Amino acid sequence: MKEISCKLLVIGAGPGGYVCAIRAGQLGIDTVIVEAGKLGGTCLNVGCIPSKALIHAAEEFENVLHAAKGDNALGISVSAPELDFARTIAWKDGIVGRLNSGVAGLLKKAKVKTVQGWATFRDGKTVAVATETGEQVIRAETVVIATGSAPVELPFLPFGGPVISSTEALSLSKVPERLAVVGGGYIGLELGTAFARLGAKVTVVEALPRILAQYDAELTRPVAKRLAALGVEVLAGAKAKGLSNKGDALLVETADGVEKKVAADKVLVTVGRKPVTEGWGLGQIDLDMDKKFIRIDDQCRTSMRGVYAIGDVTGEPMLAHRAMAQGEMVAEIVAGHRRSWDKRAIPAVCFTEPEIVSVGLSPEEAKASGFETKIGLFPFSANGRAMTLQGEDGFVRVVARADNHLVLGVQAVGKGVSELSAAFSLAIEMGARLEDIAGTIHAHPTQSEAFAEAALKTLGRALHA
């Protein structure tokens, strides 16, 4: 097969890779992108998007279920709902499919050539792609590694049979009656909550003393409360040991050291994700590593000239929007623009029930970085819109510098707060002070008012609390 030569080669068409390729194409760079799976990567196919579809379906189902039970404060009653889970999954697949072709269209529009197949480095400028029709060699002046990440497997709970990763959990043919979730991080809790609302008996096994350990207890308390209300059993400080002999239960050592059998039709293992650094010839180009990740500098350059890396393969936080921003930046660097990574905040959203948002520094992090801080918290129980949405649990919390009132971080937990992340990120990226937030008119009645109120509260003059 004839060799392809190009200016820029992107390996991996996840959110980092495809954004990089589209931007490069827009800038007139001759770009090729290689993808072994479907366009859109983990995020679009087996991550962010399908999980949110499933979470939404679960919420709708559960609401109707409650109404049917006569447990509905709004006075709505319906007859008992039924779930055609195959249709739910088909609907989800439809969304994924639309987005797949959307990415393909965008790449085409940007005049990016897409090569389907598994890429392996021969040297820093040459890649061999195993395609359906044979080996395709691609030579490029610049290569961007965007190989992403994959679910971590536990040696004593290898994937297969009843043991599944998040990928399989999004394509089950029916809702499991009993689901054990190993790992109480955001992925396990998002999916665990969804299945609980769809009717599964869910048990979450978390080795650390509490769920969502990367967030502070104040922020996760509404989530824990909601899990309890949904009947999700949380075994904190407990260790998963393996599958029972019959394969119908998870063996767990509880916090008290007691062996326990958790009956389960499926065991979902969500103990984190690892960078994909094998199978594509990393050894051929011998890049410097930062533990298990590829080491990059503030321009996403690796230790080899002309080789960049972006996204999950380069480290935490493993988030699609970080990868996208890196991809965009690298494309512009390749086009000769002066760019470097100077983002002030990467928002993190947890689509649990209720949702959690964290942008910038938490109170502890702010303190640890040596700032005198001021913290203000405004509860949704005092927000009119939250009441009308039956979402009074939760709050918005602002962390600011005491000396100049610069906003260092914003956290929120509550119904639908993921959409507030935009305001939080903008505030931090623009260098807003508390007075800026407080001085901006926030529409009434919306949950966003809680943001302004939290800023006022930090200034010592909240109006509605």
Partner 1 sequence: MGEHVIKLPDVGEGVAEAELVEWQGKVGDLVREDQVLAAVMTDKATVEIPSPVDGEVIWLGADIGDTIAIGSPIVRLQVAGEGNVKEGEAGTAGSPPPTPPAQEDEAAPAFEPAPAKAASQPSMEARSPDDAPKAVVELAPHPRAKERNAPAPAMKVAPRREGERPLASPAVRLRAREAGIDLRQMAGSGPAGRITHEDIDAFLARGAQAPFPAAPGLARNEAVEEIKVVGLRRKIAEKMRIAKSRIPHITYVEEVDVTALEELRATLNKQKGANRPKLTLLPFLMRAMVKAIAEQPQLNALFDDEAGVIHQHGGVHIGIAAQTGNGLVVPVVKHAEARDLWDCAAEVNRLAEAAKAGLATREELTGSTITISSLGALGGIVTTPVINHPEVAIVGVNKIMVRPMWDGTQFVPRKMMNLSSSFDHRVIDGWDAAVFVQRIKTLLETPALIFVEG
Q: Which residues are known to be catalytic?
A: 444
* Between 340 and 390, CB nearer to partner 1: 340
* Between 64 and 345, CB nearer to partner 1: 345
Please report how close the Cβ of residue 403 comes to partner 1 at its closest, in angstroms: 6
Host H or E run for residue 76: none
Among positions 2, 246, 305, 338, the unique one binding partner 1 when judged by CB under 8 A: 338
Among positions 111, 429, 440, 465, the unique one binding partner 1 when judged by CB under 8 A: 429
Q: Nearest-5° angle of CA 151, CA 413, CA 392?
A: 135
- Of 380-419, binders to partner 1 (CB under 8 A) are 403-406
Rounded-to-integer distance, Cα 223 and Cα 393, Å: 9
Indicate if the alpha-carbon torsion angle 278, 281, 283, 289 is positive or negative. Answer: negative
Structure token pair of residue 220: 């996760």
Q: How far is CA 1 from the centre of its chain?
A: 39
First to last CA, the chain: 70
The one segment of 60-68, 123-131, 138-146, 339-347 that binds partner 1 by CB under 8 A = 339-347
* Between 30 and 436, CB nearer to partner 1: 436
Please report how close the Cβ of residue 73 comes to partner 1 at its closest, in angstroms: 38
Rounded-to-integer distance, Cα 291 and Cα 293, Å: 6
- Of 60-89, binders to partner 1 (CB under 8 A) are none
The torsion defined by the Cα of 285, 289, 291 and 297, in degrees rounded to 10, comes to -150
The one segment of 92-100, 135-143, 431-439, 447-455 that binds partner 1 by CB under 8 A = 431-439
How many other C-beta atoms can be found within 10 angstroms of the C-beta atom of residue 386?
A: 26
The torsion defined by the Cα of 236, 242, 246 and 248, in degrees rounded to 10, comes to 30
* Between 217 and 463, CB nearer to partner 1: 463
Q: HSE-up of 443 (CA within 13 Å, CB side)?
A: 3
Q: How far is CA 273 from CA 206, 266, 323, in A?
A: 16, 20, 15
Please report how close the Cβ of residue 405 comes to partner 1 at its closest, in angstroms: 7
433 interacts with partner 1 by CB under 8 A: yes
* Between 204 and 427, CB nearer to partner 1: 427
The one segment of 130-138, 183-191, 333-341, 351-359 that binds partner 1 by CB under 8 A = 333-341
Please report how close the Cβ of residue 325 comes to partner 1 at its closest, in angstroms: 11
Exposed (0-12), middle (13-18) or buried (19+): which is 12, by Cβ within 10 Å? buried
Count interface residues toward partner 1 (CB under 8 A).
19
435 interacts with partner 1 by CB under 8 A: yes
123 interacts with partner 1 by CB under 8 A: no
* Between 196 and 329, CB nearer to partner 1: 329
* Between 135 and 403, CB nearer to partner 1: 403
245 interacts with partner 1 by CB under 8 A: no
Contacts of 56 (CB under 8 A, 6+ apart): none
The one segment of 31-39, 198-206, 335-343, 377-385 that binds partner 1 by CB under 8 A = 335-343
Rounded-to-integer distance, Cα 189 and Cα 101, Å: 30
- Of 196-235, binders to partner 1 (CB under 8 A) are none
Nearest Cα to Cα of residue 239 among 218, 209, 281: 209
Rounded-to-integer distance, Cα 167 and Cα 155, Å: 18
Cross-strand pairs, 144: 10, 308
Rounded-to-integer distance, Cα 303 and Cα 286, Å: 9
The C-alpha R_g of the chain, in whole angstroms, comes to 24
Is residue 340 within 8 A of residue 176, CB to CB? The reply is: no
Rounded-to-integer distance, Cα 311 and Cα 127, Å: 20
130 interacts with partner 1 by CB under 8 A: no
* Between 320 and 456, CB nearer to partner 1: 456
**Residues 340-379: x where in contact with partner 1 by CB under 8 A, - otherwise, as a string:** x-x-x-----------------------------------
The one segment of 134-142, 147-155, 190-198, 332-340 that binds partner 1 by CB under 8 A = 332-340
Rounded-to-integer distance, Cα 316 and Cα 314, Å: 7
337 interacts with partner 1 by CB under 8 A: yes
Among positions 38, 56, 339, 442, the unique one binding partner 1 when judged by CB under 8 A: 339
Please report how close the Cβ of residue 115 comes to partner 1 at its closest, in angstroms: 32
Q: How far is CA 151 from the centre of its chain?
A: 13
Please report how close the Cβ of residue 338 comes to partner 1 at its closest, in angstroms: 5
* Between 82 and 342, CB nearer to partner 1: 342
Cross-strand pairs, 159: none
430 interacts with partner 1 by CB under 8 A: yes
The residues that touch partner 1, with contacts defined as CB under 8 A, are 337-340, 342, 344, 403-406, 429-431, 433, 435-436, 439, 460-461
